């Protein structure tokens, strides 16, 4: 399976005519009806949660891609949401966590293989302070979690490039 987007955008979703994919700006254009669609980066959010020993919370993915692999909590920003709202929603859904304070850490570009197509994302990372570690429960698309000293994380265990880059920033 060729995962490049140009192999997956051939026909116009509005009029069904054949269209052309521009690999430079990642856009699809229909010559027949003029429909023009850009594959902009999808916005996603990621949480850094530390315990009082300075260990980082890693989740275990309960869904494909990379079922069973280590990840950081988070997910895609829904249309109409801002990044902070998406972060709070994902943390509540995935781990039953309601942070008392969040602060912006930085953003990281990523490529995500979904439906055999490369999806470009930009991950907005936030440090989240929580005061209740007892109520953390994995739900939804994660099946577990663990706290690990960032220096002890083997980057080969982390499938996503953006998550590796975040953890590299934390390692000394
Ligand atoms: Zn068209």
Residues 82 and 147 in one domain: yes
CATH value at residue 132: 3.90.79.10
Find the 9 Cα to ligand 1 centroid distance in Å. Answer: 12
What is the whole-number distance in angstroms between the Cα of residue 63 and the centre of ligand 1?
35
Structural domain span for residue 32? 5-38
Give the per-residue pLDDT at 52: 94
Cα separation, 172 vs 169, whole angstroms: 8
The answer to whether residues 110 and 151 belong to one domain is: yes
22 alpha carbon – ligand 1 mean position (Å): 15
Q: Do 141 and 113 share a structural domain?
A: yes
Distance 110 CA to ligand 1 centre (A): 30
Asked if 50 and 37 touch (Cβ cutoff 8 Å), the reply is no
Tens digit of pLDDT at every position of the chain (172 positions): 688 888 889 999 999 999 999 989 999 999 999 999 999 999 999 999 999 999 999 999 988 888 999 999 999 999 999 999 999 999 999 999 999 999 999 999 888 888 888 889 999 999 999 998 999 999 878 899 999 999 999 999 999 888 999 999 999 8
Whether residues 14 and 74 share a domain: the answer is no
**Among 160, 75, 65, 64, which Cα is nearest to 110's?**
160
3-state secondary structure of 5: helix
Q: Cβ(162)–Cβ(108) under 8 Å?
A: yes
Do 25 and 72 have their domain in common?
Answer: no
The predicted structure's pLDDT at residue 117: 87
Same domain membership, residue 57 and residue 34? no
Distance 5 CA to ligand 1 centre (A): 18
Find the helix or strand (DSSP H, E) in which 76 lies. strand 74-76
Are 59 and 19 within one domain? no
Distance from the CA of 23 to the center of ligand 1, in angstroms?
Answer: 18
- In the chain, the number of structural domains is 2
Q: Are strands 42-49 and 117-129 parallel, antiparallel or unpaired?
A: parallel
Please tell me the distance between residue 10's alpha carbon and the centre of ligand 1 in angstroms: 11
CA–centroid distance, residue 18 to ligand 1 (Å): 8
How far is the centre of ligand 1, averaged over its atoms, from the C-alpha of 40 (Å)? 19
* Strands of 27-30's sheet in order across: 19-22, 27-30, 36-38
Q: How far is the CA of 20 from the centre of ligand 1 (A)?
A: 11
Whether residues 33 and 71 share a domain: the answer is: no
Measure 32 CA to ligand 1 centroid, in angstroms: 5
Residues 79 and 17 in one domain: no
Look at residue 39 in the predicted model and tell me its pLDDT: 92
Q: Do residue 46 and residue 120 come from a single domain?
A: yes
Q: What is the pLDDT of residue 116?
A: 87
Q: What is the dihedral of CA 155, 157, 160, 163, to 10 degrees?
A: -50
Verify that 123 and 164 share a domain, yes or no. Answer: yes
Phi, psi of 73 (to 5 degrees): -65, 150
127 shares a domain with 104: yes
């Amino acid at each position: 399976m060729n995962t490049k987007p140009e192999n997956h955008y051939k026909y116009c979703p509005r009029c069904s005519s054949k269209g052309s994919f521009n690999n430079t700006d990642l856009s699809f254009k229909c010559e027949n009806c003029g429909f023009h669609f850009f594959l902009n980066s999808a916005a996603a959010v990621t949480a850094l949660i530390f315990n009082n020993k300075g260990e980082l919370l890693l989740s275990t993915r309960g869904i494909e891609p990379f079922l069973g692999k280590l990840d950081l909590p988070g997910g895609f920003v829904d249309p109409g949401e801002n990044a902070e709202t998406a972060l709070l929603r994902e943390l509540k859904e995935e781990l039953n966590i309601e942070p008392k304070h969040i602060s912006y850490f930085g953003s990281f570009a990523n490529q995500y293989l979904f439906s055999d197509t490369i999806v470009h994302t930009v991950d907005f990372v936030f440090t989240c302070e929580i005061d209740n570690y007892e109520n953390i429960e994995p739900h939804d698309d994660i099946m577990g979690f663990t706290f690990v000293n960032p220096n002890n994380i083997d980057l080969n265990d982390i499938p996503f490039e953006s998550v590796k880059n975040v953890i590299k920033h934390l390692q000394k």
